[in-house]
Amino acid sequence: MARSPMMTRRFDAPGPAAPTRAPSPKLAPDRPRNTTFTAFGLASETEPLSPGLHIVATPIGNLRDITIRALSTLAAADAVLAEDTRVTRNLLAHYGITTPLLAYHEHSNDAVRERMIARLRAGEALALVSDAGTPLVSDPGYKLVQAAIEAGIAITPVPGPSAVMTALVAAGLPTDRFFFEGFLPQKAGARRNRLEALVQVPGTLVLFESPHRLPDMLADAAAVLGPERPAAVTRELTKLYETIRRDTLGSLSERFAQEGPPKGEIVVIIGAATTPERTIDADAALDALILSALERHSIKDAASLVADETGQPRRQVYSRALALARGQG
C-alpha cells in the first residue's frame, strides 16, 4: 500500500505574535536553516521565537515524553546549548531538528557565558537543555540564567519532564510536602552530617544518587534517619528496565548491600519521620545539660561542650542554648 505524502502543519505559539528577529549571524543568508520538526508522521513548521534564553525540559528516558512546544522551541532556536551534545544530538535527530548545538556544561567558564550573553544581547533566541529532564535541577545551567537575568535578558521556561516529580509520584509516599536534596556528599562523614541536618525535615525527601554509591548511602540513611523510615529506590524511570522498589530504609539497605550497585539513573525517595526523633524526656535532659554548661561557659562554648558530650549537631545545640539563654534573661 502506497504511503500518503507527508503533511505539513504550522503550530502557532499562544499569546501575541512573536517579534521578527534578524537571522543569526552564524547562518549564511543564502542557506537558511530548516526550522521544522517531525512528530506523529507530520513535518511541522515553527513560528519565530522571541529573543532570549528558553529553558527547555527534555525526556528523562523515553523520547516520546516531550511536548510539542518543546520541539517547536528547539527547532526555531538559533542554537541549542546542551550539557552533552552527543545526548542532545540523538534527541534532535529523532525529531528531524537541525538546530546547531553548542556545549554548555559544569566546566564552561565565564568566557563561554560571556559569548552566550553576547549572542542573546544581539537578539538571538537560545534554547538551554540538560542531558535529561528540566534544566537547572542539579544542573549547571543556573549560572547562565543568573548572568542572563543580570543582563536584562528575557527568560522563558518551557516545562516538561522531571525526574524529581516522576519519582515522587511513583514512590507511593506523601507528596503534600517534599524537600529536594539532590546529591549527598560523596565522603561518608560529610554524608552523615548532611543526613543529620535532614532528620527533622517535615516532608518527603528526594535524593539523587550514583549507582556505585547507592548501597553506602542507603546504609548511612538507615543509620541516621532510622531503619523503619519508608522509602523507595527508583531506577531507569520511563525506560525499558524501569524498576521501583518500595520498603523501609533498613530493608532496602540490606537488599542493595547483598545485590551490589545497580545500573542506570537512580532517584531515592524517603518518607518523613512519623514520630519525633527525640522524646520530651530527651529534650528535657538536653536542656538540663545546656543550662548547667551555661552557668560556667559562654553560649558558644557551652553548646560545643554539650554537642561533644551528646553527639547532637552543634548548630542544633547552639540554637537551643541561645534560646535558653534568652529565656533566662
Q: Is residue 2 part of a domain?
A: no
Q: Is residue 200 part of a domain?
A: yes
Specify the CATH number for the domain of residue 115.
3.40.1010.10
- Same domain? 190 vs 114: no
Q: 91: which 3 cell numbers? A: 534527541
C-alpha 33/C-alpha 73 separation (Å) is 14
Give the angle 139-142-143 at the CA atoms, nearest 5°.
115
> Which of 127, 161, 195 is at the close of a domain?
161
- Same domain? 122 vs 148: yes
- Same domain? 230 vs 302: no
- Same domain? 214 vs 251: yes
Q: Is residue 1 part of a domain?
A: no
Range of the domain at 264: 164-270
Residue 44 has pLDDT above 70, yes or no: yes
Q: Is residue 275 part of a domain?
A: no
* H/E stretch holding 268: strand 266-270
Q: What is the mean pLDDT of residues 203-222?
A: 96
> Which of 144, 161, 178 is at the close of a domain?
161
Q: What is the mean pLDDT of residues 253-281?
A: 83
> Which of 111, 143, 161 is at the close of a domain?
161
For residue 42, the SS3 value is: strand
Query: What confidence category does residue 1 fall into, taking pLDDT thresholds of 50, 70 and 90?
Result: very low
Q: What is the mean pLDDT of residues 116-139?
A: 95
* H/E stretch holding 76: helix 68-76
Nearest partner of 274 among 294, 248, 297, 243, judged by Cα: 248
- Same domain? 41 vs 152: yes
Lowest mean pLDDT among 8-17, 80-89, 113-122, 262-271: 8-17
For residue 152, the SS3 value is: coil
Q: What phi-psi label fits residue 224: left (phi over 0), alpha (psi between -120 and 50 degrees) or beta? A: alpha
Specify the CATH number for the domain of residue 254.
3.30.950.10
Q: Is residue 132 part of a domain?
A: yes
- Same domain? 100 vs 128: yes
- Same domain? 63 vs 183: no
Q: Is residue 308 part of a domain?
A: yes
In total, how many domains does the chain have? 3
pLDDT digits (tens, 9 = 90+) for 161-173: 999 999 999 999 9
Helix/strand number for the chain, H first, E second: 11, 13
Look at 48 and 59; give whichever has higher pLDDT: 59
pLDDT digits (tens, 9 = 90+) for 143-162: 999 999 999 999 999 999 99
- Same domain? 129 vs 183: no
Residue 12 has pLDDT above 50, yes or no: no
Q: Is residue 81 part of a domain?
A: yes
- Same domain? 154 vs 168: no
Percent of the chain with pLDDT over 70: 86
Query: What confidence category does residue 325 fall into, taking pLDDT thresholds of 50, 70 and 90?
Result: confident
For residue 234, the SS3 value is: strand
- Same domain? 254 vs 286: no
* Mean pLDDT of all residues belonging to the chain: 87
Q: Is residue 184 part of a domain?
A: yes
Residue 65 has pLDDT above 60, yes or no: yes
Q: What is the mean pLDDT of residues 220-227?
A: 94
For position 289, what pLDDT does the model report?
87
- Same domain? 60 vs 155: yes
C-alpha 13/C-alpha 48 separation (Å) is 9
- Same domain? 146 vs 118: yes
Residue 185 has pLDDT above 90, yes or no: yes
Residue 3 has pLDDT above 70, yes or no: no
